[in-house]
Amino acid sequence: MGKALVIGGGPNGLAAAITLAAKGRSVTLLEGKCTLGGRCAVLDDTATVQPWAVEALGLDLEWVDAAPLVHATSTGNHTIDHDEPAMAAWLCEVATFTPLIRELSASAPPNIRLGAAWTQLLGSALPMAKLGRAKGFELARIGPLCAEDWLDESGIDRSTQAALIAPALLGTWMGPRSPTSALAVLFHHALSGQEIEGGMEGLLNALVRRANGAGVDIRTEARVVRIIVEEGRAVGVTLDDGAELRADVVLSTIGLKNTMFSLVGHRALPFGLDMAVENIRSRGVVAQWRATAASPLFGGAERVVVVDDTTALERAFDDAKHRRLPSRPAMLIRQRGETLNALVFGAAHDLDGGWSDEARISLQKTILDTLGERADASLISNAELITPVDLESTYGLEGGHLFHGEFALDQFLSFRPHPMLSGYKSGIDGLWLGGAGMHPAGGFTLGQGILAAGQV
Amino acid sequence: MSQQYDAIIVGGGHNGLVCAAYLAKAGRKVLVLEKRHVLGGAACSEEIYPGFTYSVCSYVVSLLRPQIIRDLKLARFGLHVLPLESTFSPYPDGRSLLRTANPAETRREIAAFSAKDADVYPLFGKAMGQLARFAKPIIDEKAPDPGSLWPKELTRLLKLGKRFRDLGDDLGLLQYKLTTMSAVDFLSEWFETDELIAPMACSGIIGTMLGVKSPGTAYVLLHHYMGEIDGASRSWGFARGGTGAISMAIARSAQHFGAEIRTNAGVQQITVRGGEAKGVVLEDGTELSAKIVISGAEPRLTFLGLVGEKELPSEFVTQLKRYKLRGSSGKVNLALDRFPDFSSRPGIGMHMRGDISIAPNTDYLERAYDDAKYGDFSKKPFMNIVFPSVLDPDMAPEGKHVMSIFVQYAPYHIKEGPSHWPEKREAFGDAVIDTLSDYCPTLKDSILHRQVLTPWDLEQEFGLTEGNIFHGELSLEQLLFQRPVSGWAHYKTPIHKLWLCGSGAHPGGGVMGAPGQLAAQEILKGGAC
Amino acid sequence: MDVAQYVTPMRTTPFHPRTSQLCTSFAWKEWAGYAAVCHYTPHSEAEVFAIRSTAGLLDVTPLYKYDVRGPDAGEFLSRIWTRDISAIGVGRVVYSAMCDENGWMLDDGTVARLGPDHYRCTSSEPWLGWFIRHSRGFDVEFEETTEKLCGLSLQGPRARAILKGITEFDMDRMRFFRVRKTVVCGVPAWVSRTGYTGDLGYEIFCDNEHALALYDGIMAAGAPHGLIPMGLDALDVARIEAGFVLQGIDYVCAHQCIIDELKSTPDDAGLGWTVDLDRAPFIGQAAIQAERKRGSTWDLVGLEIDWEALEGLYQESGVPPHLAPEACRASVPVYDEEGNQVGQATSTTWSPTTKRYLALAQVRRPHHLIGTELRIEHTPKFERQTLPVTVVQRPFFDPERKRSTPGGAKLDSAATAAPVEAPS
Please list the residues that pair with B358 across neighbouring strands. B383
Residue A267: its chain C contacts at CB < 8 A?
137-138
Instruction: Provide the pLDDT confidence category of residue B433 given band limits of 50, 70 and 90.
Output: very high
- B472: amino acid identity, one letter: G
pLDDT of residue B475: 85
Interior angle at CA A387, CA A383 and CA A390, nearest 5: 110
* Interface-testing mutation among C8, C64, C141, with chain B (most B C-beta atoms within 10 A): C8
**Mean pLDDT value of segment B356-371:** 97
Nearest residue of B to residue C129, measured between CA atoms: B116
- C345: amino acid identity, one letter: A
**Alpha-carbon gap, residue A291 to A376, rounded angstroms:** 13
Q: Could you give phi then psi for residue A252, rounded to 5 degrees? A: -100, 130
Instruction: Provide the pLDDT confidence category of residue A189 given band limits of 50, 70 and 90.
Output: very high
Chain B adjacent subunits, 3+ CB pairs under 8 A: A, C
- Nearest residue to C239 (alpha-carbon basis) of C229, C254, C249: C249
Name the minimum distance, in Å, from the CA of A276 to any CA of chain C. 12
pLDDT of residue B229: 59
- B329: amino acid identity, one letter: S
Q: How far is CA B522 from the centre of its chain?
A: 23
Share of chain C above pLDDT 90, in %: 84
pLDDT of residue B528: 84
pLDDT of residue A115: 54
Instruction: Provide the pLDDT confidence category of residue C1 given band limits of 50, 70 and 90.
Output: very low
pLDDT of residue C8: 66
Identify the three-state secondary structure at position B252.
Answer: helix
pLDDT of residue B1: 45
pLDDT of residue C417: 39
Residue A149: its chain B contacts at CB < 8 A?
324
Decide: residue C324, CB within 10 A, 0-12 exposed, 13-18 middle, 19+ buried: exposed
- Under a CB-based contact definition with an 8 Å cutoff, are residues A108 and A439 in contact? yes
Stretch (H or E) spanning B339 = none
DSSP state string for B343-399? TTB-SS-GGGSSEEEE---HHHHHHHHHHHHTTS--SS-EEEEE-HHHH-GGGSSTT
* Interface-testing mutation among C131, C136, C138, with chain A (most A C-beta atoms within 10 A): C136
Share of chain B above pLDDT 90, in %: 72
Share of chain A above pLDDT 90, in %: 84
Q: Could you give phi then psi for residue A3, rounded to 5 degrees? A: -95, 145
**Alpha-carbon gap, residue A199 to A207, rounded angstroms:** 13
SS (H, E, C) chain A: CCEEEEECCCHHHHHHHHHHHHCCCEEEEECCCCCCCHHHHCCCCCCCCCHHHHHHHCCCCCEECCCCEEEEECCEEEECCCCCHHHHHHHHHHHHHHHHHHHHHCCCCCCCCCCCCHHHHHHHHHHHHHHCHHHHHHHHHHCCCEHHHHHHHHCCCHHHHHHHHHHHHCCCCCCCCCECHHHHHHHHHHHCCCEECCHHHHHHHHHHHHHHHCCCEEECCCCEEEEEEECCEEEEEEECCCCEEECCEEEECCCHHHHHHHHHCHHHCCCCHHHHHHCCCCCCCEEEEEEEECCCCHHHCCEEEECCCHHHHHHHHHHHHCCCCCCCCEEEEEEECCEEEEEEECCCCCCCCCCCHHHHHHHHHHHHHHHHCCCCHHHEEEEEEECHHHHHHHHCCHHHCCCCCCCCHHHCHHHCCCHHHHHHECCCECEEECCCCCCCCCCCCCHHHHHHHHHC
Q: Mean pLDDT over all residues of chain A?
A: 93
Task: Inspect the interface and report whether the beta carbons of B123 and C132 lie closer than 8 Å.
Answer: no
DSSP state string for C86-126? GGSPTTBEEEEEEE-TTS-EEEEEEEEEEETTEEEEEESS-
What does the pLDDT look like over B178-190, one tens digit per residue? 989 999 999 999 9
Is the model more confident about C379 or about B445? B445
End-to-end alpha carbon distance in chain B: 16
- Phi/psi region, residue B434 (left: phi>0; alpha: psi -120 to 50; beta: rest), is alpha
pLDDT of residue A389: 97
DSSP state string for C353-413? TTTEEEEEEEEETTTTSTT-EEEEEE-SSSS-EEEEEEEEPSPS---GGGT--TT-THHHH
Residue A126 has pLDDT above 80, yes or no: no
Q: Could you give phi then psi for residue C178, rounded to 5 degrees? A: -120, 160
Residue B232 has pLDDT above 60, yes or no: no
Contacts 24+ apart (CB under 8 A), A60-64: A60/A206, A60/A209, A60/A210, A61/A196, A61/A197, A61/A198, A61/A202, A61/A203, A61/A206, A62/A196, A62/A197, A63/A194, A63/A195, A63/A196, A63/A197, A64/A194, A64/A195, A64/A196, A64/A197
pLDDT of residue B150: 75
- Nearest residue to A437 (alpha-carbon basis) of A204, A170, A254: A254
What does the pLDDT look like over A52-61, one tens digit per residue? 999 999 999 9
pLDDT of residue A125: 65
**Alpha-carbon gap, residue C41 to C36, rounded angstroms:** 14
Q: Mean pLDDT over all residues of chain C?
A: 92
Residue C137: its chain A contacts at CB < 8 A?
261, 265-267, 274
DSSP state string for C263-332? ---TTTTT-GGG---SSS--TTHHHHHHHHHH--SEEEEEEEE-HHHHHHHHHHHTS-----SS-B-S-E
What does the pLDDT look like over B203-229, one tens digit per residue? 889 989 999 999 999 987 887 777 665
pLDDT of residue A78: 94
What does the pLDDT look like over A43-90, one tens digit per residue? 989 999 999 999 999 999 999 999 999 999 999 999 999 999 999 999
What does the pLDDT look like over A377-427, one tens digit per residue? 999 999 999 999 999 999 999 999 999 999 999 998 888 999 888 889 998
Residue A263: its chain C contacts at CB < 8 A?
none
A278/C contact by beta carbon, under 8 A: yes
Stretch (H or E) spanning C207 = strand C201-207
Identify the three-state secondary structure at position B14.
Answer: helix
Name the minimum distance, in Å, from the CA of B280 to any CA of chain C. 51
Nearest residue of B to residue C66, measured between CA atoms: B115
Instruction: Provide the pLDDT confidence category of residue B2 given band limits of 50, 70 and 90.
Output: low
How many C-beta atoms lie closer than 10 Å to residue C261's C-beta? 6
**Mean pLDDT value of segment B489-511:** 93
Determine if the peptide bond prior to B507 is cis (ω within 30°): yes
Interior angle at CA A175, CA A173 and CA A176, nearest 5: 140
Nearest residue of C to residue A270, measured between CA atoms: C281
In b/e form, how buried is each residue of B2-37, taking b as 16+ CB within 10 angstroms? ebebbbbbbbbbbbbbbbbbbbbbeebbbbbbbbbe
What does the pLDDT look like over A167-180, one tens digit per residue? 999 999 999 999 99
Residue B47 has pLDDT above 60, yes or no: yes
Residue C410 has pLDDT above 80, yes or no: no
Instruction: Provide the pLDDT confidence category of residue B508 given band limits of 50, 70 and 90.
Output: confident
- Nearest residue to C397 (alpha-carbon basis) of C343, C354, C350: C354
**What's the pTM?**
0.92
Alpha-carbon distance values, B470 to B10, B39, B298, B324, B473 (Å)? 17, 18, 9, 11, 7
Name the minimum distance, in Å, from the CA of B237 to any CA of chain A. 31
Residue A298 has pLDDT above 60, yes or no: yes
Which candidate from B147, B215, B324 shows the least CB-CB separation from A178? B215
**Mean pLDDT value of segment A255-279:** 91
pLDDT of residue C416: 44
Cβ neighbours of residue B498 closer than 8 Å, sequence gap 6 or more: B270, B272, B277, B292, B293, B294, B295, B302, B307
Which candidate from C101, C137, C138 shows the least CB-CB separation from A271? C101
Instruction: Provide the pLDDT confidence category of residue A239 given band limits of 50, 70 and 90.
Output: very high
pLDDT of residue C365: 93
Task: Inspect the interface and report whether the beta carbons of A274 and C283 lie closer than 8 Å.
Answer: no
**Alpha-carbon gap, residue B443 to B452, rounded angstroms:** 16
Decide: residue C417, CB within 10 A, 0-12 exposed, 13-18 middle, 19+ buried: exposed
> What's the alpha-carbon Rg for chain B, to the nearest Å?
22
Task: Inspect the interface and report whether the beta carbons of A137 and B370 lie closer than 8 Å.
Answer: no
Task: Inspect the interface and report whether the beta carbons of C128 and B115 lie closer than 8 Å.
Answer: yes
